[in-house]
Amino acid sequence: MLDINLLRNNPDLVRENIKKKFQDQKLPLVDEVIELDKQNRAAMQQADGLRNQRKVLSKQIGGMMAKGQKDEAEAAKAQVAAIAEQLVELEKKEEEYAAEIRKRMLVIPQIIDESVPIGRDDSENVQNEIFGEPLVPDFEIPYHVDIMESLNGIDLDSARKTSGNGFYYLKGDIARLHSAILSYARDFMIDRGFTYYIPPFMIRSDVVTGVMSFSEMENMMYKIEGEDLYLIGTSEHSMIGKFIDTILDENDLPQTLTSYSPCFRKEVGAHGIEERGVYRIHQFEKQEMIVVCKPEESMDWYNRLWKNSVDFFRSLDIPVRTLECCSGDLADLKVKSCDVEAWSPRQKKYFEVGSCSNLGDAQARRLGIRVKGADGRKYLAHTLNNTVVAPPRMLIAFLENNLQADGTVRIPEALRMYMGGKAALSR
């Protein structure tokens, strides 16, 4: 959510940003907010004048009574009562104006960083850098489910019976591999100075609207019937929500956190939930990294976060690339974002395995996350998040890149201690 002062003082900047994101249907919101804000401030000014008038009259009433001016005192009391009624109406108007302003401000997108490439959708995202050589072996690589089934590691049929499409049973060495990757990711981030968390897996609606846009919420979140609770789509939601309505001491920044959680997503508007696959699913587990920092440090942290993901995947011998998200592909709260994509030897292309985002002060403004500086001045923090790893999607990249010609799957050295010392998975 933007600072209202930005719309008051530089509405053209806001309009231009909306156009860069190809959301022209939101342009009228700028004028609507400006007009509502004028009306709200006029109501507030009128209310302040009436309060001053009431204060003066209240003082005069005492003097009138002391002088025996009963009739004058009663008339003044009547004026005070009338002012009180007017104030009730004005305060009600102020609340209505504020609610209407907030409703519109919540859907006006954050000002994107000047380095973001301008583009309409994800087809216009820009490749940044490739890490590792994307090789294609001289033998055929089966579909990832076929690899898992060959290792007796997945049961999709039973999951469809219990839960429907988009769910799975992992078992045996594949289930162990799934857990091993998450354990390795946890320790990888701890070794980089991040504090490990296991957060709540459900959050209240005020946190949901604080961390994401309405369109994301509608397409992603599962609502708990009869409760003001939602299942989280990522642990970032809980972890940023942890700081709601707090004032952090500047000396305690940056807050660098890494969190594990299951994640639940409706995937509304997706290309479809596969019947035979674990790429797009309703339930998965993820290790996340979150940073709360001073504004001037957020872009430096952005670059450090996506590099952590690259280093993690390369430590498991998986080639990756980073893809800069263009303006039209950025969610409304994001200032800048890039995807980390892993190489698929079977498809001979890269696919998304994680996303790194700088949200500037958007989440902090919505949730009231402030910082107290050394001079006592309070300002909004900046928040960032990035995926460390999200199996089972990451398992696709792992299995394809470590599959051997004889059907075994090599376990990289970094992961072997989490797999009981195993150097390979075999049938």
Q: Does residue 251 have a pLDDT over 80? A: yes
Per-residue pLDDT at 270? 54
Distance of CA 339 to CAs 41, 127, 207, 287, 409, Å? 42, 9, 25, 16, 26
Same domain, 139 and 99: no
CATH number of the domain bearing residue 68: 1.10.287.40
Tell me whether residue 117 is in a domain: no
**Averaged pLDDT, 110-120:** 97
Residues 159-170 have a mean pLDDT of 93
Residues 138 and 177 in one domain: yes
262 lies in a domain? yes
Closest CA to 144 of 282, 276, 320: 276
Residues 217 and 304 in one domain: yes
pLDDT for position 271: 53
Torsion angles phi and psi, residue 295, rounded to 5: -55, -40
Domain count, the chain: 2
pLDDT of residue 386: 98
In this structure, are 421 and 353 located in the same domain? yes
185 and 323 housed in the same domain: yes
Does any domain span residue 110? Answer: no
| Residue-wise burial string across 15-24, b where 16 or more C-beta atoms lie within 10 A, e elsewhere | bebbebbebe
* One domain for residues 167 and 273: yes
| pLDDT of amino acid 272 | 52
Residues 91 and 134 in one domain: no
For residue 405, the model assigns a pLDDT of 96
Domain's final residue, options 105, 134, 152: 105
> Pick from 76, 105, 134: which residue ends a domain?
105
**pLDDT (0 to 100) of residue 319:** 98
CATH code for the domain of 408: 3.30.930.10
Looking at the fold, whether 82 and 153 belong to one and the same domain comes out as no
When pLDDT is averaged across residues 30-56 and rounded to a whole number, the result is 94
**Domain assignment of residue 16, given as a range:** 4-105
Residues 98 and 148 in one domain: no
Residues 128 and 274 reside in one and the same domain: yes
pLDDT band at 269; cut points 50, 70, 90: low
* Tens digits of residue pLDDT in 287-337: 999 999 999 999 999 999 999 999 999 999 999 999 999 999 999 999 999
